[in-house]
């Protein structure tokens, strides 16, 4: 029986790798040849998860997660993005280029703010933070693994504040020339696993 290219498939290969250290390099090459991919990675995180859940209950916040996802997915797809997974209040997706991810993040932010303006209840307002990286990764059925995936998660979940878009150094280096309606901050640094992680804040300027 052929395994799905999901966690079971990965763990089976890793088990083989651990049992045969002499074949580790060969297995690694095979994995990257079969499942290697590259592109921009975007991680979103919603604001107020703990506070709102404790105040209004789990189902209230779950309904907000569903609404935020319903707003976000069409925008991600319009910008050429691929949904990897939605997990609790996070969305993980990939794009061909960092600018595609930046446009998706800004579109989601604007649509969420338009949604919030129609709702008086502040505890029902949905706001995201965004982390964007660029690099190679292993793509499985419902997950991706790679250094810039970790970087994007660090930026989106732990570093960015609500409504902010942070991009990694790798994503910035990939941008090259980008439209004038975007501004980028000077580089900032945060620690990731004991190493310095450089990032910038991106903002879409009004016309």
Nearest to 125, CA basis, from 51, 18, 19, 30: 51
CATH architecture, domain defined by 35-204: 2-Layer Sandwich (3.30)
Say what the pLDDT of residue 11 is.
86
- pLDDT per residue as tens, the chain (207 positions): 344 677 788 888 889 999 999 999 999 998 899 999 999 999 999 987 778 888 888 898 889 899 999 999 999 999 999 999 999 889 999 999 999 999 999 999 999 999 999 999 888 899 999 999 999 999 988 899 999 999 999 999 999 999 999 999 999 999 987 777 899 999 999 987 788 999 999 998 876
Say what the pLDDT of residue 176 is.
82
Say what the pLDDT of residue 42 is.
98
DSSP assignment of 89-156, as one string? TEEEEEESSHHHHHHHHHHHHHHHHHHHHT---GGG---EEEEEEEEEEEE-SS-EESHHHHHHHIII
Say what the pLDDT of residue 41 is.
98
Strands 128-139 and 165-168: parallel
**Exposed / middle / buried, residue 60 (Cβ in 10 Å: 0-12, 13-18, 19+):** middle
Say what the pLDDT of residue 53 is.
83
Say what the pLDDT of residue 168 is.
97
Say what the pLDDT of residue 4 is.
63
Which structure tokens are listed for 122?
A: 């502040």
Which structure tokens are listed for 59?
A: 């189902």
pTM here is 0.92
Beta partners for 46? 128
Q: How many CA atoms lie within 13 A of 165 on its CB side?
A: 25
Going from N- to C-terminal start, the domains of the chain cover: 35-204
């Amino acid at each position: 029986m052929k395994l799905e290219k999901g966690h079971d498939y990965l763990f089976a290969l890793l088990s083989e790798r651990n049992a045969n250290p002499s074949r580790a390099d060969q297995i690694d090459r095979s994995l990257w040849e079969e499942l290697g991919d590259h592109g921009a990675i975007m991680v979103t995180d919603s604001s107020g998860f703990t506070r709102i859940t404790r105040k209004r209950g789990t189902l209230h916040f779950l309904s907000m997660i569903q609404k935020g996802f319903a707003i976000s997915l069409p925008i991600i797809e319009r910008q050429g993005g691929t949904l990897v997974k939605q997990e609790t209040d996070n969305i993980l997706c990939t794009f061909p280029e960092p600018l595609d991810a930046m446009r998706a993040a800004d579109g989601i932010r604007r649509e969420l703010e338009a949604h919030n303006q129609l709702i008086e209840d502040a505890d029902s307002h949905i706001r995201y933070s965004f982390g964007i990286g660029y690099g190679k990764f292993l793509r499985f059925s419902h997950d991706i693994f790679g250094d810039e995936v970790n970087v994007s998660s660090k930026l989106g979940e732990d570093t960015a504040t609500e409504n902010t878009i942070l991009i990694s150094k790798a994503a910035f280096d990939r941008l090259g020339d980008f439209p004038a309606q975007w501004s980028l901050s000077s580089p900032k640094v945060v620690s990731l696993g004991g190493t310095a992680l450089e990032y910038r804040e991106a903002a879409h300027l009004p016309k």
